Chains A and B, each alone.
Chain A
Amino acid sequence: MIKKVCYFIVFLSLGLVNTSEAFQEKDSLVTTTFLKKVGRVESMTFKVSKNDDQTNSLPGEVAKEFNDFNQALSYRDSLLLTGFGDAAIKFYIFDEEKAFDGVKEYISIIKTNDLFIPETEIMEAKNEILLAANKLDFKAYYTLRSRIFNDIKFMILMGILTLFIITFLVLLFFLTFVRSKNRNKANRIKLYQSIVADPLSNLLFTYELEEIQAMDYQQIKGIFNTEYFEESLFKDTLIKEIIYVNKNLKGDFKDKLKEIYLILKLNNFSLKKLKSKNWEDQASGIVELHEMNIKEAVPQLTPLLQSKVFLVRTNAVRAYLHLSPSKDLKFLADQDFPLSRWQQMSLYRVIKQISKNEQVKVINLLDSDNPSIRVFGIKLVRLLGRMDRISELSKMYPIATLAEKVEILITFKSLNAFTELDLTHRAFLGPEPKLSVLAAELMGVIGDESSADLLFEKLKQKGNSFELLKSMMVSLFSLDKQKFETVVEQQDNEQLYKLRAHIKDSLLAYV
């Protein structure tokens, strides 16, 4: 179609050019030769008729129209031979008759613009491609295949790619499976929660504690009235809901919940979790027994006190502390693993609760082989205000680690341990800077005249750190104000002047 449009544009341009003057005589020969050579030209037809303006002078059956110039030429010659002397070829471009000059121009343009590719040339080109292909060496397919398999790098690359794709597919399958399983589990939990809510409310608000205590397993199971009752996930959901309600309700509802938990033998379910190899199940079982206050679980909790899993161990220690009838903390002293600060805080909350009713044996912690347990023991002496254990701390000080010594001095300060002044002086004069600073602060609380003298002498020495200077100045100010002023005036030290101004400023004193 595009080609036809191009030819049409060429045809239009013919009307604008005076063709008779533009070409030489030789052009006629070239055009005729070209037409003879190619025979057919796009959009051109040839009509054989009388050689004047009366186009239809030949009889109708004799005058003919041709697409091929050579055919038209042959026909004209045959007519000339048979006596039609006025037979001639007339040229039509787009069905419009043209003079030969117009034909020359048309042929010239389509040749110049490569709009005409003779069929012979196309054939020639096809032959050339075939010839070029024949020049290539023939390689059998099996030869190529063996070359691929012999290329080790290519094979390794293919192997890695295959492995990668297989791994990707396996992971994709696994993730889809796990997601679907989790979604299914979440939906089931939601269903069980909706099943549990009404019967649990019914039991709590319709029945008195004595009535629940008089019920048996089948009766309570009948209230829940569900086919899922024996399923592990249902029991698990029920326990979690009981514990949740237990945390949110007060009064005899807690007792009712415990009764329901025991009558349904859910404690056995929780105890079974302790023997699980899955640490999450173990941790969950411990929390359930702790929350429901099942004291019978203490023997089963004992092996979990030394669990390698941090969360299991922490929960087990807390539950054991809460449930065990003995509050001697011996089990804690025997712990092999170090206690983190978070664990210490968590245990302190339980111990603080216990110590309201009975005294815990902190001394066992001070005798522990585990340094972090000993540090926790010292902190407990301080936090529980155990003045009766000050002498124990004093005894352990000489052989204590630095962390323990720091805690001991802080505890002495917190408990105003006046009996430990000698130890404090020794710590102040010792080589450890951190202990000296703490001892200097402690002297401000429990110190006497001898302490003031020690501080005075030390302040006269050079090379004290700013931290030590500050704690000494604060303590000396509280012990002996005269010596405080004297040492500042005598030393003529810029830092001491500033510290004095700071300490004496009522607004800055507590900054």
Chain B
Amino acid sequence: MKDILVIEDDQLILKMVEFRLKKEGHNVSIAEDGNQGIQALEEHCPDLIITDIMVPFKSGIEIIEFAKSKYPDCPIIVLSALGEEEGTVMEAFNMGVSDFVPKPFNPNELAIRVRRLIN
């Protein structure tokens, strides 16, 4: 069982991802905005972070920057409606993001990517 932090402002998507990952047997903690995400990261180091790029209060880029400065080895998956070719996503990759899942997404595919990164 691994600790996964999911940062996503859309509650329904957040629930879906949480439900799917819990079904995989992971311990999932959630954050609905950037501030909550940073706070959760200050409290403990998860085994994996899944974050949206556009979240309230702090952007996904700021979250990634914070996570990488504190836990350089923690893998991060970006889950976003932005296209892979967009500047922000490229910036995220340059900062050391492990994977990118564009929306609309398949939760089963996300679960597989999570499994691959954690193992």
Contacts and interface: CB of A to CB of B under 8 A. Distances in A.
B59 to A, nearest CB: 20
A251 B20 CA distance: 15
A205 B23 contact: yes
11 contacts: A197-B11, A200-B16, A201-B18, A201-B19, A205-B23, A205-B107, A245-B13, A248-B10, A248-B13, A248-B105, A249-B107
Contacts of A205: 16, 19-20, 23, 107
A248 B15 contact: no
A241 B107 contact: no
Given A201-B20, A241-B12, 11 more contacts: A193-B12, A197-B16, A198-B15, A201-B15, A201-B16, A205-B16, A205-B107, A248-B13, A249-B106, A250-B104, A251-B106
A204 B111 CA distance: 14
Interface of B: 10-13, 15-16, 18-20, 23, 103-109
Nearest to B103: A248
B19 A245 contact: no
Contact of B106 (A201, A244, A253): A253
Contacts of B106: 249-251, 253
A275 interface: no
A193 B108 contact: no
A202 interface: yes
A251 B105 CA distance: 8
A393 to B, nearest CB: 36
Nearest to A251: B106
Contacts, number: 50
Nearest to B79: A248
A249 B16 contact: yes
A81 B109 CA distance: 134
B108 A204 contact: no
Q: Which of A197, A204, A206, A247 has the most CB of B within 10 A?
A: A197
A207 to B, nearest CB: 12
B16 A193 contact: no
A247 B11 contact: no
Interface in A154-203: 193-194, 197-198, 200-202
Contacts of A204: 16, 107
B104 A247 contact: yes
A200 B15 CA distance: 10
Interface centre among B10, B12, B18, B19 (most CB of A within 10 A): B12
B12 A244 contact: yes
Contacts of B103: 248
Nearest to B102: A250
B95 to A, nearest CB: 25
Question: Residue among A198, A241, A247, A250 with the most chain B CB within 10 A?
Answer: A250
